Chains A and B, each alone.
Chain A
Amino acid sequence: MTRVNGSNGKVPARTPPARLESGNLVVVGVGGQGVILASNLVSQVLLDAGYDVKKSEVHGMSQRGGTVVSHVRFGPEVHSVMVEPGSADWIVAFEWEEGLRSLSYLKPNGVALVSTERRIPPAAMLDHRDQSLEYPALGEVPFGVLALDTFAVAGDAAAAVPAVAQTVLLGALSVLLPFPVEAWQASINAWVPRKALTGNLRAFERGRALAPEVRAAEAAARTVARTVEPGPEVVPSASASPVEHDGAKRSRDGVAERLLPVVRIERSWCKGCDICVAMCPEKCLVLDELDVAVFARPERCTGCQLCALLCPDLAMDVLWVPADDLTGWLFANEEDRVRAAADPR
């Protein structure tokens, strides 16, 4: 296996390792963007490099612009086809919101290459008269994300077939993987229809020329401290959290931590009115046998705060806690529950 440097002679500081042991990739987008084709293409490169590769796809509503997700896992021997949340080394997203939505799959120091292309789903329309939208702003780029204006990068390469622009992302991804450029070109040759072939090859090349930016994003994801993290500060108290904290800083061994939402319910204030249960769009909350709200499905919580905003008893707070501590925090809640059940005053 030959080692690859930047194809254009601008040799970056850190080159990828000669051989990766294993890896997890998540490719997301919406129907018609070529997500499946792209994951086939990457899988081909991996198979040619001698890995065991497993790939899975979800594309239910893809014909009408619905979400399309493909998981690609490789290594000496791969058993499960699914990438677990928090374990993707790379995310390649063809659409901005889909990219942000998939971030829970990313490892704490993984890299997400996200196109700034916007495909706005009908459900995001808040008011049809003033056209107001609920759609994440392009200005706010979360930690670990490299936002790429794929159309601008692709330029005339995508003039004939617009979908070709997203191949820029594969060029950028190729910088992070230790395979020769010829392997990628061969895979593109094998999978892409004739009429779009030259466009795809050129878009790939332009993406690969982004090596300095891509490497910088990778380096930042490995080292940058928490000032650029998503979500607000959380300073857990020593008593409730299983980890020590030191005030404003919240990075472990210099590695920034990903934060996940946790709903803290003050059980002694909750009157079991059912408002949070009915209002939560993700159905995360239930009432227990004492008619007290319980954060039953934390994995589905988006941190939207609707429950806390509409709780008439001010009994809820949405906290953002480091992903590794999540079980500790949920357990802290659970302890409250057990205590309350034992002492129903």
Chain B
Amino acid sequence: MSLDVVSRPPADVPQGGTVAPEARADDVLAAARGASWPGASAEKHFLRYGMMPHMLCPGCGHGIVLDAMLRALARRYETLDDVAFVAGIGCSSRVVGYVDACTLHTTHGRPLTFATGLKLARPDLEVVVVTGDGDGLSIGGNHLIHAARRNIDLTCVLFNNEIYGMTGGQLAPTTIPGAYTSTSPKGNHEQPFDAARLVEAAGGTFVARAQSFRTRDFEEIFLRALEHKGFSFVEVMTDCTEYFGRTNRLGNGADLLFSQARADVAIEADLAGRPTLQEVPARPVRPVMEMGVLHESRRQTLEEAMGLVEAGS
């Protein structure tokens, strides 16, 4: 076992002087688990090494989002002892199992309800909810709007891959028109939810949308969501390579990432005429969506109203 492993913040984080040469306790733990490597970036120390590699399919965008979340957390926290991750059921929800924080893997659609209870019992914890588009918008849709209405101080990240990945690629309330899924063999005829605007309308005080492709942007947005007091909601567009990508013949993980780049307002002007991936008219068109922080405001949180935390802090 090597104790020479020294964690190092990512290159872009300002470093005060030099890195302390002593190994941190969790480095020692990570080394003891036998899977850390010299020079591994800081966020890797927040992983449960014994659980890796994770169970997601090759190219699944959820892993990119997980890495970005850990990078943001590594910029904000030394350890994850006071951070709780709460998730429902789904491939997206599954990622909390790889984070070496306090984690709750709960029932389908109910991570926000568990998280509400946890936050009211322990307002000192940073509570992050990880949910999917099926988990958070179908079965858990009601819990989402009510958490937003209450403005409880949680940070909810919804991994939107436009499909139910875990159960075999069924239609989700976010599936784009025309897309093929195992339950829409003739293409989807329904209109999808705009999850971010839904949460804003329901009273969420920090609402943002990001992409796994622009992973640095998501990292910044997630960091801002963590800092926000009140219900913070970040919808992050990711790709299910195994079902959404394959069923719609959209190519591999890299192709799907490029298709995200095309469905981005930043390049709207150039690509408005040809926003489809691979230019096949019969394939679904990824709509151009607004990205970034879409709404930010301040109002009394549930904990403040209940006198659990000092107001205005």
Decide: B19 and A272 in contact? CB cutoff 8 A: no
Q: Which of A35-43, A213-221, A303-311 lies on the face that meets chain B?
A: A303-311
Decide: A233 and B59 in contact? CB cutoff 8 A: no
State whether the Cβ of A120 lies closer than 8 Å to any Cβ in chain B.
no
State whether the Cβ of B114 lies closer than 8 Å to any Cβ in chain A.
no
Residues of A within 8 A of B41 (CB): 308, 317
Please report which residues of chain B, range 1-53, place their CB below 8 angstroms from some CB of chain A when the two chains form the complex: 2, 4-6, 8-9, 11, 15, 18-21, 35, 37-41, 44, 47, 52-53
State whether the Cβ of A264 lies closer than 8 Å to any Cβ in chain B.
yes
Q: Which of A196-204, A240-248, A337-345 lies on the face that meets chain B?
A: A240-248
Please report which residues of chain B, range 61-111, place their CB below 8 angstroms from some CB of chain A when the two chains form the complex: 61-64, 66-68
* Contact A241:B58 (CB < 8 A) given known A235-B6, A314-B52: no
State whether the Cβ of A231 lies closer than 8 Å to any Cβ in chain B.
yes
Residues of A within 8 A of B232 (CB): none
Q: Which of B198-206, B251-259, B298-306 lies on the face that meets chain A?
A: B251-259
- Chain A binding surface SS class: loop
Residues of B within 8 A of A310 (CB): 64, 213, 215, 257
Q: Interface residues of A, CB < 8 Å — how many? A: 41
Q: Which of A20-28, A92-100, A181-189, A273-281 lies on the face that meets chain B?
A: A273-281
Query: B39's contact among A235, A268, A274, A279, by CB below 8 Å, is which?
Result: A235
* CA of A269 to CA of B60, assembled, Å: 14
Decide: B38 and A312 in contact? CB cutoff 8 A: no
Decide: A240 and B37 in contact? CB cutoff 8 A: yes
Residues of A within 8 A of B254 (CB): 273-275, 277-279
Decide: B53 and A234 in contact? CB cutoff 8 A: no
Decide: B253 and A266 in contact? CB cutoff 8 A: no
State whether the Cβ of B56 lies closer than 8 Å to any Cβ in chain A.
yes
Decide: A240 and B67 in contact? CB cutoff 8 A: no
Residues of A within 8 A of B62 (CB): 312
* CA of A266 to CA of B35, assembled, Å: 9
State whether the Cβ of B54 lies closer than 8 Å to any Cβ in chain A.
yes
Residues of A within 8 A of B61 (CB): 312
In whole Å, how far is B73's beta carbon from the nearest beta carbon of chain A?
A: 14
Residues of B within 8 A of A247 (CB): 6, 21
* Contact A311:B252 (CB < 8 A) given known A239-B4, A271-B58, A317-B37: no
State whether the Cβ of A1 lies closer than 8 Å to any Cβ in chain B.
no
Decide: A232 and B2 in contact? CB cutoff 8 A: no
* Residue of B with least CB distance to A235: B6
* CA of A232 to CA of B216, assembled, Å: 18
Please report which residues of chain A, range 286-309, place their CB below 8 angstroms from some CB of chain B when the two chains form the complex: 305, 308-309
Query: Nearest 8 pairs between A and B by C-beta?
Result: A247-B21, A312-B63, A278-B254, A273-B59, A237-B38, A237-B4, A248-B18, A271-B58
- For the complex with contacts A248-B19, A310-B64, 7 further pairs of A-B residues with Cβ separation under 8 Å are A235-B8, A309-B215, A310-B213, A312-B253, A313-B53, A314-B66, A317-B44
Seen from chain A, the residues whose Cβ lies within 8 Å of a Cβ on chain B are 127, 129, 227, 231-241, 245-248, 264, 266, 268-269, 271-275, 277-279, 305, 308-315, 317, 319
